[in-house]
Structure 1
Amino acid sequence: MSGPGNTCRRADLDILCVTPFYKPAYVYGGPTRSVPVLCEALAALGNSVTVYTTDANGPANLQIDTTRPHLLNGVAVYYFRRHGASRYFYSPELEDACRRRIGSHDLVYVIGNWTYPLLAACRSARAWGAPFVIAPRTSFMIGTWKHGLVKKLVYHLLLERRLINSASALHYTSQLEATQSRWLRLTAPAFLVPNPVELGEFCSMPTRGAFRCAFGIPADAEVALYLGRLDRRKGIDLTLASFARCLRARPSAYLVLAGPDEDGYSRILAEAATAAGVASHVVLTGYLDPRTRLGALSDADVFILTSYSENFGMAVVEALAAGLPVIVSDQVGIADEIDADGAGLVVPLDQAVVADKLASLLASPEERKQFAKRGPTFVAKRYAPMAVAAAMEAQLRCLV
């Protein structure tokens, strides 16, 4: 993927990032971790970075002052009120700020689609003649359209398509995301830069055992961990069914499904675990705060993500950074990189294969130890924040 151009000027950039949510709204998963790391690294390179976002935090709103900017690690963050509790993130205050101020920035970087902030940012950028980049973060991939296809297509055709095609560039985070977005036949140029991962937080992990104790998991159990939003697209049903088969070979194993619920899916998963006869070995934790999340990574033996459609795999990279062996489906954005570097196991969407690989890895402490050594090196080589930010900066400079 060649990117939008080859002739780029050298000067500090003034970047406006418009995103429907931002830290500390960690309930929304990976983007709430990767986008701030990228913004802060771009600022550390000497660029001026401003963020417009909403105060959304799942069904509730953040308890945060929306009347002033907040300086977070070199980034000026404006939180605007979200009206209602929907994932449309309706905020006329954000729209008004975009309409009045976008012209003062060199470039606009817009996260996601199917949200009001995208319409507000892209329409305002076009009105000002400002270049803008859209980062769909999975939402152009065909797998994300299967649920509610007709509704999404109508919305896309009526409200978004012309805006998306008029973007200066589209930002994909993996080759898989780019490939599986081609079906939309968008005409805007595109470039590929991966997500950055902040490595520092994984240098001092919690003492092993505290998480198990808090959730009633035996100290000597073998623990497989899924960490992320409980979303059908994540293939958690396949993970659960595969674990049920694995349990026959590894009867002391436990499966932890950790993350905020999406549309009551935790109840469906709990019912599936009961129907499979494995409910006593499946732990649904709900949302984990940042420290407890590290405890889960520390206490697990294997991380598993059998996603049906995943643009990148932020939770996977964080597990690797924490030294946790990983099993991922071949539909996870960074599966090829993991396979090429021998950093983890990549599996097809096949219940028998997943169950076999999971049982084998749980049964082999030595193999897990080897993967644990490779993980942090893999992450540092490919996803260090400053290196990723430099690659992003190079692409953005070509647009202004």
Structure 2
Amino acid sequence: MKVLHVIPSLSPFLGGPTTVVINLVKALLNNGVEAQIVTTNHNGSKPLDVPLYEKIEYEQVPVWFLPYFSPPMKEFIFSPALTKWLWQNIKNYDILDNHYLFSYAPSCAAAIARSHNIPYTIRTQGQLAPWALTQSKRKKQIYSMLVERHNLNNAAAIHCTSDTEAQDVRKYGIKSSIVKLPLGVEQVDINPQAVGQLHSVYSISPHTPIILFLSRLCHNKYPDMLIKALSLINADSLDFHLLMAGTGEPDYVKYLKQLVISLNLSDRVTFTGFVQNEQKNLLLQSADLFVLPSVSENFSIATAEAMAAGIPVIVTPGVQLASEIIAANAGYVVEQDINALFQGISDLLNSPKLREELGENGSTWASNRYCPNYIATNLTRIYKAIINKSGFCESEVSQVQEYGSINNYYKTEMPRY
């Protein structure tokens, strides 16, 4: 079985989507599936420095990179070279796994796959969430009418990672089969000296709890709300240091840094910039608390990684892993409000023993549910059912239990702030 994953870009700066597809392909290869990726050399303002028009090993997986042409709609990542490559090579694959919506590569791949009678699946990556659909709303409405709805309704399956994402797909009017399957998260290699090293690298007192924000710095993830919430904490009663790990648009990052200064938090907040590999692992092994107050977040690979690393997490209902955090008792789900965030953070900073308990719960949950090989095994079974046209029952492949709507999360044991 040969599987081709199609994604607009593998830029490291895209964070989650890049990590997801690379981890998925790695796990599939480990399970004996011949999986590859085709993408562009897009990397923001400067292309990735990689060979083009040939299969190479990139981050330990086989990848074909094709050049892109950036039109006025930069996020579209147009690539005539990718179109030609797909026409010439798509018949060599049994199934396509398309990542993302409203972008050229997966849209083009779906159309060409249909013309060659090659089945394909689609990962929407939260792009059908209500908040996401309000961004560039008119463009998405036109694109959906002309292209995207047709692609989605002709997919062999839509791969959703949570109940909420599956509900968003159905609300959008898509009738294709839905596969509910979480994503795999690799365990961090244990480094006994990690905590000491991190405190030393960032000149933080050994006894100061570290709060971690690990994501792209953009307005929908509300890093400014986190900063404002922390400004309410009395420095004399509660110690902390916030590490803002990520990058974003220069103007927005400048705004965040100015906000930190204006709130007198300069000695308690560090902007690490983009982190990956060993530096990222150091953060995940050493942080005492992970916070992501995003208004709209799909699976949130960073949150799952924090859980896997044994870090208690605080998120808002817009993070679609919220129901799993509740079920696992791995942290708090709080209202998207400065005071609610302040109270939740203060509570856990005051309770080292509770932080440890919640962190252990999250680690156990992640090792059971987010094991890459387990996910790959189930995904392989789905691919085979599609290729063999044997069909599958959505309930059979669903790995997401029914916890009820996240709108009812206040009925759980989680704190309401």
Q: Same fold (TM over 0.5)?
A: yes
Residues 329-384 of structure 1: per-residue CA shift (max 9 Å, x gap): 22222211121121222222232222111011112221122223223211110110
For residues 319-338 of structure 1, the aligned pairs below 5 Å read 319-338=306-325
Structure 1 residues 358 and 68: CA distance shift in structure 2, 3 A = same
Counterpart contact for 1:133–1:170, Cα < 8 Å: yes
In 2: Cα distance, 1:254 partner to 1:282 partner: 6
Report whether the alignment pairs 1:33 with 2:24: no
1:216-271 superposed Cα distances (whole Å, 9 cap, x missing partner):
43333222110011122213232222222234675532222110214632122223
Matches of 2:237 and 2:153 in 1, distance apart?
51
Distance 1:211 1:90, change over 3 A: farther
Distance in 1 (CA, whole Å) between partners of 2:326 and 2:22 is 28
Aligned to 2:101: 113
Which one of the candidate residues 274, 286, 293 is aligned to 1:287?
A: 274
Higher relative contact order (CA 8 A, sep 6+): 1
CA spacing shift, 1:151–1:67, aligned 2, 3 Å: closer
Q: Is the 8 A contact 1:88 1:116 kept in 2?
A: yes
CA–CA distance in structure 2, aligned partners of residues 101 and 90 of structure 1 = 19
> Which deviates more from structure 2 when the two are superposed, residues 389-398 or residues 354-363?
389-398
Out of 347, 351, 359, the residue aligned to residue 364 of structure 1 is: 351
Q: In the alignment, what sits opposite 1:162?
A: 150
1:196–1:247 distance in 2 versus 1, CA, 3 Å: farther
Deviation at 1:151, TM superposition (A): 2.4
C-alpha separation in 1, matches of 2:168 and 2:53? 40
In the TM superposition, residue 111 of structure 1 has moved relative to its aligned partner by: 0.3
Find the aligned partners of 2:59 and 2:274 in 1 and give their Cα distance.
25
**Cα offset, 1:29, TM superposition:** 0.8
Q: 2 CA distance for matches of 1:244 and 1:74?
A: 42
Task: Report if the CA contact (8 A) 2:289-2:311 is conserved.
Answer: yes
Alignment match, 2:79: 91
What amino acid is the match of 1:138? G
Would the aligned equivalents of 1:48 and 1:75 in 2 still touch at CA under 8 Å?
Answer: no
Q: Does 2:125 align with 1:137? A: yes
**Which region of structure 1 is more displaced relative to structure 2, 221-230 or 174-183?**
174-183
Q: State the one-letter code of the partner of 1:116.
A: Y
Go from structure 1 to structure 2 and tell me whether the alpha carbon gap of 1:65 and 1:247 turns closer, same or farther (over 3 Å shift).
Answer: farther
| 1:95-140 superposed Cα distances (whole Å, 9 cap, x missing partner) | 1111111122111110001211012201110111111111011111
Partner of 2:298: 311
Q: Which moved more, 1:387-396 or 1:275-284?
A: 275-284
Structure 1 unaligned segments of length 5 or more: list them. 1-12
Structure 2 partner of 1:374:
361
- CA shift, 1:206, in A, is 5.5
What are the Cα deviations for residues 13-40 of structure 1, in whole angstroms up to 9, with x where unaligned? 2211111123xx3211112112111112
Q: Distance in 2 between matches of 1:254 and 1:326?
A: 16
User: For structure 1, which segment, 379-388 or 219-228, has the greater mean C-alpha deviation from structure 2 after superposition?
Assistant: 219-228
- One-letter identity of the residue aligned with 2:379: M
Q: Structure 1 CA distance, aligned partners of 2:258 and 2:169?
A: 34
Q: Is residue 239 of structure 2 the alignment partner of residue 252 of structure 1?
A: yes
Q: Is the 8 A contact 2:238 2:349 kept in 1?
A: no
1:389 deviates by 0.9
Query: Contact between 1:205 and 1:294, CA under 8 Å: does it hold in 2?
Result: no
In the superposition, relative to structure 1, how do residues 270 and 183 fare at CA in structure 2: closer, same or farther (>3 Å)?
farther
Following the alignment from structure 2 to structure 1, what is the Cα–Cα distance between the partners of residues 204 and 380? 45
Q: Distance in 2 between matches of 1:238 and 1:341?
A: 25
> Hey, what does 1:63 align to over in structure 2?
49
Q: Distance in 1 between matches of 2:234 and 2:383?
A: 49
* Residue number in structure 2 paired with 1:8: none
Check the 8 A contact 1:171/1:193 in 2, yes or no: yes
SS in 1 for 2:333: strand
When structure 1 is superposed on structure 2, of 34-43 and 156-165 the one drifting more is 156-165
* Contact in 1 for aligned 2:290/2:313 (Cα 8 Å): yes
Deviation above 6 Å: which 4+ runs of structure 1?
none
How many residues align structurally? 385
8 Å CA contact retained: 2:120, 2:156: yes
Q: Counterpart of 1:150 in 2: which secondary structure?
A: helix
CA distance in structure 2 between the partners assigned to 1:249 and 1:173 by the alignment: 42
Superposition pairs for residues 1-400 of structure 1, below 5 Å?
A: 13-22=1-10, 25-71=11-57, 75-84=61-70, 86-199=74-187, 201-204=188-191, 207-247=194-234, 250-262=237-249, 264-400=251-387
Q: Quote the Cα distance in structure 1 between the aligned partners of 2:42 and 2:58.
A: 17
Deviation at 1:168, TM superposition (A): 1.7
- How far apart, CA to CA, are the structure 1 residues paired with 2:137 and 2:255? 22
What is the letter of the counterpart of residue 299 of structure 1?
A: S
* Distance in 1 (alpha carbons) for counterparts of 2:192 and 2:134: 38
Unmatched runs of 5 consecutive residues or more in structure 2: 388-417
What TM-score do the two structures reach when normalised by structure 1? 0.89
Q: Give the fraction of aligned pairs with identical amino acids, expressed as a percent.
A: 28
How far has the Cα of 1:87 moved from its partner?
2.8
Answer yes or no: is the 8 Å Cα contact 2:316–2:322 preserved in 1. yes
Give, in whole Å, the separation in 2 of the partners of 1:28 and 1:74.
18
TM-score normalised by structure 2 residue count: 0.86
For 1:18 and 1:196, the matched residues in 2 are separated by 18
